[in-house]
A and B are shown apart, each in its own frame.
Chain A
Amino acid sequence: MDGYYASYAPVLAIVVAGVGLVASIFAANRLLAPRRQSPEKLLTYESGVDPIGEGWAQIHLRYYVFAYLYVIFAVDAVFLFPWATVFAGLGWTVVGEMAVFIGFIAVGLLYAWRKGVLTWT
């Protein structure tokens, strides 16, 4: 293992060590903890009364529109990182390009704002 990816060796090591750590914690728990299960204990909690219906209930998600907004901006954020390291050397042209790109997205946010998407209905 050498070259660029060698610098990620400690990352790999810590992932392995972390998985081992969590596994040993659970193993210790298995050894130390009592185990007396009953149907009542395994019942889904619903403030002390018997659960009605199942847990995966249908709910009205008022904020699903935010997901669309997020996806639009997330694309832009990924693009920003490589750009951030080089733009200072490349000058105003590159800045203008990024401004146009972010400008488009910002107009999208403004549109959503004006349309009342960001207000509770």
Chain B
Amino acid sequence: MAEWVEVVLRVLVVIAAFLVLPLLVGQTEHKAMAHMQSRVGPMYAGGFHGWAQLVADGVKFAQKEDVVPAAADRTVFKLAPAVALLPYLVAFVAIPVGPGLVGQDLDLGLFFVLAVMSVGVLGSLMGGWASANKYSLLGGMRIAAQLMAYELPFVLAAVSPAMAAGTLSLTGIVEAWQWWWLLWQLPAMVVFFVAGLAELRRPPFDMPVADSEIVFGPYTEYTGLRFALFLLAEYAGIVLLSALTAVLFLGGWQGPFEGALGWLWTLVKTGVVAFVVIWARVAYPRLREDQLQSLAWKVLVPVALAQLALTTVVAVA
């Protein structure tokens, strides 16, 4: 009986984190982008510096009419946002915040998270195909191409810390982490982060959803709540990528006073990485499709392979 209560409790905490953290990142993005562009961003909703802007957006989205184009493949079109969103929720289960502070410490943690994360992309592909819209189809194709190019360096770079730690458990990787891994695993970290940005289709890798040329690609036909779910999936993805980067490469809860403040360290590191994700959006222009592909195949994959060789030699020697 007590076991089941604990499982339910853990699930509830994970769902709460899943619903709150993406909104925090979204609000930070509104404000940080605004200030980087000499604007003030949302100021009205909620009174204090527009803190309730995203809550207000959510309420608005929930009241909007659900439009499915007549030409669309109805079932697939309606399912797509759920397929895009749910994998990120499931992946949250395996992310450790502190020692023992985790939805569930799976011994295949890293493999599980990577596998589940890549299911999320299917949602956008489904949306792109089912919309029966030319912009959406183009966007969907671009997503497929981008996924194939960047999944590879993403996975190869993620293997590197697992090899160094000798385990696929995310908790195990954090426990094995030493400060000098920051240098040793630096190329893998950069590759992982850049490829992760591309997987999330965040700027500067937002060619598939480029709003100014193909009108948001796969999401062109989506309105109201279903569109909101796609957006929520994007921000949940940012949280997940940041948390994974913090756990794999930045030592998770390791730091001064880790006994009492370990969970805070993980959250702070995740927050810093998430801020860099936002920063990259403001700082860099969008990459062209062929530039995307050559960055992945000519830079990231070779660097990731070199990192694997280095990790192997250091770990065995």
Interface residues of chain A, those whose CB is within 8 Å of chain B, are 7-11, 13-15, 17-19, 21-22, 25-26, 28-30, 32-37, 39, 41-47, 51, 54-57, 59, 61, 63, 66-67, 69-70, 73-74, 77, 80-81, 84-89, 91-92, 95, 98-99, 102, 106, 109, 113, 118-120
Contact = CB atoms under 8 A, between A and B. Distances in A.
A44 B155 CA distance: 37
Given A7-B107, A37-B67, A59 B62 contact: no
A61 B145 CA distance: 10
A69 B133 contact: no
A33 to B, nearest CB: 5
B137 interface: yes
Contact of B86 (A19, A41, A51, A102): A19
Contact of A22 (B65, B82, B145, B149): B82
Contacts of B64: 29, 33
A88 B312 CA distance: 8
Interface residues of B, number: 75
B312 to A, nearest CB: 5
Say what secondary structure dominates the interface of chain B.
helix
Nearest to A30: B66
Contacts of A74: 151-152
Interface stretch (B158-166, B186-194, B276-284): B158-166
A-B interface, 9 closest residue pairs, ranked by CB to CB distance from nearest? A55-B132, A120-B290, A70-B148, A42-B70, A10-B104, A84-B163, A29-B225, A77-B155, A63-B145
B39 interface: no
Most buried by B among A22, A25, A95: A25
B71 A33 contact: no
Contact of B315 (A7, A22, A32, A88): A88
B274 interface: no
24 contacts: A8-B106, A10-B10, A10-B93, A17-B11, A22-B85, A29-B64, A33-B62, A33-B224, A39-B70, A42-B67, A42-B69, A42-B70, A44-B131, A45-B135, A45-B220, A51-B134, A55-B131, A63-B145, A70-B149, A77-B159, A85-B167, A85-B168, A87-B163, A99-B309
Contacts, number: 193
Contacts of B104: 7-11
B65 A59 contact: no
B66 A18 contact: no
Main secondary structure, interface of A, reads helix
Most chain B CB atoms below 10 A, which of A10, A17, A84:
A84
Interface stretch (B247-255, B264-272, B292-300): B292-300
Contacts of B11: 10, 13-14, 17
B55 interface: no
B136 interface: yes
Nearest to B154: A77
Contacts of B168: 81, 84-85
Nearest to A72: B152
Nearest to A77: B155
B146 to A, nearest CB: 9
B308 A102 contact: yes
B69 A113 contact: no
Contact of B70 (A8, A10, A13, A43): A43
Contacts of B297: 66, 69, 109, 113, 118
Interface in B195-236: 215, 220-221, 224-225, 229
Given A42-B68, A69-B297, A84-B168, A59 B133 contact: no
A74 B152 CA distance: 7
A13 B66 contact: no
A8 B67 CA distance: 37
B15 interface: yes
A55 B133 contact: yes
